[in-house]
Amino acid sequence: MEERKAVIQVKDLEKAYKLYDKPSDRLKEALGLGRKKKYKEHYALKGVDLEIYKGETVGIIGTNGSGKSTILKIITGVLNPTSGTVKVDGRISALLELGAGFNMEYNGIENIYLNGTMMGFSKKEIDAKMNDILSFADIGEYVNQPVKTYSSGMFVRLAFAVAINIEPEILIVDEALSVGDVFFQAKCYHKFEEFKEMGKTIVFVSHDLSSISKYCDRVVLLNQGVKLGEGSPKEMIDAYKQVLVGQYPLPENDDQNLLNDGEIESAVASAGKKEEVNQDLAVNPDLLEYGTKAAVIEKYKITDDMGRDTGAILKGRKCSISMTVRFEADIEAPIFAFTIKNIKGVEITGTNTMVEKAFLESVKAGTVMEITFTQEMNLQGGEYLLSLGVTGFEKEEFQVYHRLYDVMNMTVISDKDTVGYYDMNSEVKVLSL
């Protein structure tokens, strides 16, 4: 069996920044005035170890500020580490934040030569790749205009076209792809597939968990500069979901900054048993709320098939939408409802207890009820918004007691998206006749 070759080796990597209360403190320290330390150290990365092997596609996930972009910049040489070592064996092409490596005064053609030269190519080699780059970018005559006049979409098209067409051995991509339109993103991911088939190494950071699930062989989870774990996409996405809702057992000291696979599984399983959930990351601060408040929705949550409260649901798995309602008045026959919309505001699906013939009783003031809708998640992978409501009829007049529009974000994670909003879960048979 052929031994795997490590093309990126990161050992005990740390990146610390000095944070000053005021600019004058920075100046005093630079001039050597005063003995007292005038800064606090912030670690963007702390003691991170990582090996990436030839031909792997590795995703790096984590919340904002977890150190994802920092580690990519250190690997590509854009940043120097505070301590630790990084070894790279192979030609790297990197697409980091918008504008990295581009001269805003140069036109597109000039920037192609600039980037190609920085990556070690001769003019002749860049000339040979020029048609492929221009064809992939597909920005027409704008390629002859200064890039400072480009839209963000045109900019990322050109940057990715250069990065992908100079035949790197290692491709590193930050969140930049989220700027392009859906058709360009599809073309980029198709190129990812080609790279994987060619045995190239890909490392990318993304908040798009569906892409992480679909394309990655392995995923690394970072949180506040510490590597929490690494493993299969499903395993790490499950752990990430716990981090998002504050249910992941974060390390308490430097000797416990990495959980192994067994500990992750145990932590994820036990996290679902916790009663207190931090929903701040999932709740919309600008939600639309109205109603008579004869009944009030006090709590709400989305729960996955393992009993964990989370805004991220795996496609094809069971999930539950729950709300806790307190009644301030007697109501003859309340109706409890939920609606799911896409981010464009289109109502995709929803139901209520009257349609489902699940509850047709009167309720007394002071009563508290929990209503749970359980279903299989067959929506395509993507971002959705959840709305909740309690309504009813009084003397045949429709009444809204409490409605919460777009109250929570719901992410559906999928490694197979079909056409449209839903997956029909078709069973396919192909026979030779």
- We report the CATH number of the domain holding residue 61 as 3.40.50.300
Last residue of a domain, one of 244, 270, 300: 244
Last residue of a domain, one of 244, 279, 308: 244
The count of structural domains within the chain is 2
- pLDDT tens for 216-242 read 899 999 998 999 999 998 888 878 877
**Is 55 part of a structural domain of the chain?**
yes
Q: Assign 3-class secondary structure to the chain.
A: CCCCCEEEEEEEEEEEEEEECCHHHHHHHHCCCCCCCCEEEEEEEEEEEEEEECCCEEEEECCCCCCHHHHHHHHHCCCCCCEEEEEECCCEEEECCCCCCCCCCCEHHHHHHHHHHHCCCCHHHHHHHHHHHHHHHCCHHHHHCEHHHCCHHHHHHHHHHHHHHCCCCEEEECHHHHHCCHHHHHHHHHHHHHHHHCCCEEEEECCCHHHHHHHCCEEEEEECCEEEEEECHHHHHHHHHHHHCCCCCCCCCHHHCCCCHHHHHHHHHHHCCCCCCCCCCCECCCCEEECCCCEEEEEEEEEECCCCECCEEECCCEEEEEEEEEECCCECCCEEEEEEEECCCCEEEEEECCCCCCCCCCECCCCEEEEEEEEECCECCEEEEEEEEEEEEECCEEEEEEEEEEEEEEEEECCCCCCCCECCCCCCCCCCC
Question: What is the residue range of 372's domain?
Answer: 288-413
**Is 274 part of a structural domain of the chain?**
no
Do 60 and 207 lie in one domain? The reply is yes
The closest of 268, 338, 344, 255 to 308, measured between CA atoms, is: 268
pLDDT at 48 over 70: yes
Do 212 and 345 lie in one domain? The reply is no
What are the phi and psi torsion angles at 366 (to 5°)? 95, -10
Do 408 and 341 lie in one domain? The reply is yes
- pLDDT tens for 347-399 read 899 999 999 999 989 999 999 999 999 999 999 988 899 999 999 999 889 99
**Is 267 part of a structural domain of the chain?**
no
- pLDDT tens for 87-134 read 999 888 877 765 566 888 899 899 899 888 877 788 888 889 899 889
Do 342 and 403 lie in one domain? The reply is yes
**Tell me, what's the pLDDT at 245?**
60
Do 234 and 306 lie in one domain? The reply is no
**Tell me, what's the pLDDT at 366?**
96
Do 324 and 399 lie in one domain? The reply is yes
Do 187 and 63 lie in one domain? The reply is yes
Region of poorest pLDDT, from 246-255, 331-340, 416-425: 246-255
**Is 278 part of a structural domain of the chain?**
no
Residue 315 belongs to a domain with what CATH number?
2.70.50.60
**Is 179 part of a structural domain of the chain?**
yes
Do 69 and 185 lie in one domain? The reply is yes
**Is 98 part of a structural domain of the chain?**
no
Report, as an integer, the average pLDDT of 339-351.
Answer: 88
> Can you give the pTM of this predicted structure?
0.66
pLDDT at 251 over 60: no
Q: Which of 136-140, 206-210, 329-333 has the highest mean pLDDT?
A: 329-333
Measure CA 50 to chain center: 20
Averaged pLDDT of the chain:
83
Do 75 and 209 lie in one domain? The reply is yes
Confidence category of residue 431, pLDDT binned at 50, 70, 90 = very high
Do 198 and 301 lie in one domain? The reply is no
- pLDDT tens for 181-223 read 667 777 777 787 888 888 889 998 887 777 788 788 999 999 9
**Is 395 part of a structural domain of the chain?**
yes
Pair of tokens at residue 64: 């904002």
Do 240 and 306 lie in one domain? The reply is no
**Is 15 part of a structural domain of the chain?**
yes
Do 68 and 179 lie in one domain? The reply is yes
Higher pLDDT, 32 or 400: 400
User: Angle at Cα 361 formed by Cα 358 and Cα 362, nearest 5°?
Assistant: 145
Last residue of a domain, one of 187, 221, 244: 244
Higher pLDDT, 65 or 321: 321
